[in-house]
């Protein structure tokens, strides 16, 4: 069939030419500015975020890998789209003795996990001195049918986070055919909060409801702020259970730290609260220490 050869040969030539051009383009991108990339300064801090859906062998293996890198800070991050699942994960965290590894429960109200993941990494990068590595448990399903049934959220996270400067993503594969059982991660040492002094600036007059913008909070001053809970973190300080709640309004974010508690009734990601207390520093971040609090409805906060 001479006509088949006449059709196939030009098509193959076109395909091979385009393939060669693609290889050349990729090689050029990989080789571009290599000296500049190698000369980039190493940032002062290295933070590892292990994204976990639930606590299983795949997640445990990823946490163990993150610990082996000996970062300045290691945190597990769970994006909350189901409050019951988040509570179950918190209970499992305590049950398995992982309370010395911080677990961040991050609100994801629109269920767009990949976007929330990028925003979470970007917050850690914002200080300009932090390199962030994201560790993802990767479950290797044995059949193509199983791979089709499971969503591709991890791929979207890898693509989005990798575009951020000084952010990297590593996947830790877990093969279901493997008989290997991951050992539970060892407990990391807990740090101590630092202290700082009042900067001497003039206090900001309160609003009509008695609160001030979070961006106006100053060290060692009594303050009242209101906002929405963005993140809940359970981690002991000096052996004492500590709950850290990150609250944000339209001007910024601040931590409310409850010493000696792993839960506070009514407070969870997405909760709207008013807190009052003295501003200080907790783990290098601005915080209100052991505040009093009041739960708010949407109308009260908007007002």
CA 210 from centroid of its chain's CA atoms: 32
Question: Residue 178: its pLDDT value, please?
Answer: 47
pLDDT recorded at residue 142:
66
Domain boundaries, the chain: 42-175, 214-302
Q: What is the pTM of this model?
A: 0.69
Half-sphere exposure at residue 69, Cβ-oriented, CA atoms within 13 angstroms: 21
303 vs 298: CA distance, rounded Å = 9
- For 176-179, the CB contacts below 8 A with 24+ separation are 176/139, 176/140, 176/141, 176/142, 177/142
pLDDT per position as a tens digit, 59-69: 999 999 999 99
CATH class of this structure's domain 42-175: alpha beta
Query: Which residue stretches of the chain have pLDDT < 50?
Result: 148-150, 178, 181-182, 184-197
pLDDT digits (tens, 9 = 90+) for 201-249: 667 788 888 899 999 998 888 999 999 999 998 877 666 778 999 999 9
| CA separation, residue 286 to residues 176, 243, 257 (Å) | 44, 15, 10
For CA atoms 99, 188, 291, 211, give the dihedral sign: negative
**Cα(185)–Cα(126) distance, integer angstroms:** 29
Q: What is the pLDDT of residue 251?
A: 92
Distances (CA, A) of 214 to 174, 275, 290: 43, 11, 17
DSSP the chain: -HHHHHHHHHHHHHHHHHHHHHHHHHHHHHHTTHHHHHHSPPPSEEEEEEE-SS-SHHHHHHHHHHHHT--SEEEEEEEES-HHHHHHHHHHHHHTT-TTSEEEEEE-TT--HHHHHHHHHHHHHTTSSEEEEEEEEEEE-SSHHHHHHS--HHHHHHHHHHTSTTEEEEEEEEETT----PPPPPPPPP----------PPPPPP-TTS---GGG--TT-EEEEEEEEEEEEE--BTTB-EEEEEEE-SS-EEEEEEET-S--TT--TT-EEEEEEEEEEETTEEEEEEEEEEE--HHHHH-
pLDDT, residue 187, reads 38
Q: Write down the architecture of domain 214-302 according to CATH.
A: Beta Barrel (2.40)
């Amino acid at each position: 069939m001479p006509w088949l050869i006449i059709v196939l040969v030009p098509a193959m030539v076109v395909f091979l030419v385009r393939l060669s051009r693609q290889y050349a383009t990729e090689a050029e991108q990989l080789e571009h500015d290599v000296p500049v990339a190698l000369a980039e300064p190493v940032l002062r801090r290295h933070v590892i975020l292990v994204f976990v859906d639930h606590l299983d062998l795949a997640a445990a293996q990823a946490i163990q890998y993150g610990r082996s890198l000996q970062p300045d800070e290691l945190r597990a991050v769970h994006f909350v789209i189901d409050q019951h699942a988040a509570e179950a994960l918190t209970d499992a965290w305590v049950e398995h003795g992982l309370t010395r590894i911080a677990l961040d429960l991050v609100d994801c109200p629109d269920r767009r996990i990949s976007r929330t993941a990028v925003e979470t990494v970007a917050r850690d990068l914002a200080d300009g001195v932090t390199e962030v590595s994201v560790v993802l448990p990767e479950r290797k399903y044995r059949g193509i049918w199983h791979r089709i049934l499971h969503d591709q959220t991890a791929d979207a996270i890898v693509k989005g986070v990798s575009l951020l400067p000084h952010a990297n993503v590593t996947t830790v594969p877990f093969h279901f055919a493997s008989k290997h059982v991951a050992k539970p991660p060892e407990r990391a040492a807990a740090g101590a909060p630092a202290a700082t002094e009042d900067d001497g600036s003039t206090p900001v007059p309160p609003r009509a409801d008695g609160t001030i913008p979070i961006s106006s909070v100053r060290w060692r001053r009594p303050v009242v702020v209101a906002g929405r809970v963005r993140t809940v973190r359970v981690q002991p300080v000096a052996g004492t259970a500590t709950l850290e709640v990150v609250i944000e309004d339209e001007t910024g974010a601040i931590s409310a730290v409850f010493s000696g508690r792993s839960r506070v009734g009514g407070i969870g990601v997405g909760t709207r609260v008013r807190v009052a207390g003295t501003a200080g520093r907790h783990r290098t971040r601005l915080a209100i220490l052991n505040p009093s609090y009041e739960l708010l409805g949407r109308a009260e906060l908007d007002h």
